[in-house]
Amino acid sequence: MSQKLPNMLESTIQKIREMVDVNSVIGQPITTPDGVTVIPVSKVSVGFGGGGSDFVSSKAGADNPFGGGAGGGVKVTPICFLIIKDGNVRMMPVPEPANSTADRVVEMLPDTLEKLTSFLDSKKATE
pLDDT tens sequence across 60-106: 666 777 788 877 778 888 899 999 999 899 999 888 776 777 777 77
CA 80 – CA 38 distance, rounded (Å): 10
Give the percent of the chain with pLDDT over 90: 19
pLDDT tens sequence across 48-58: 777 777 777 77
pLDDT tens sequence across 13-58: 787 777 777 677 888 899 999 989 999 999 888 887 777 777 777 7
Backbone CA torsion sign across 112, 113, 118, 121: positive
How far is CA 72 from each of CA 15, 19, 89, 124, rounded to the nearest angstrom? Answer: 9, 11, 36, 60
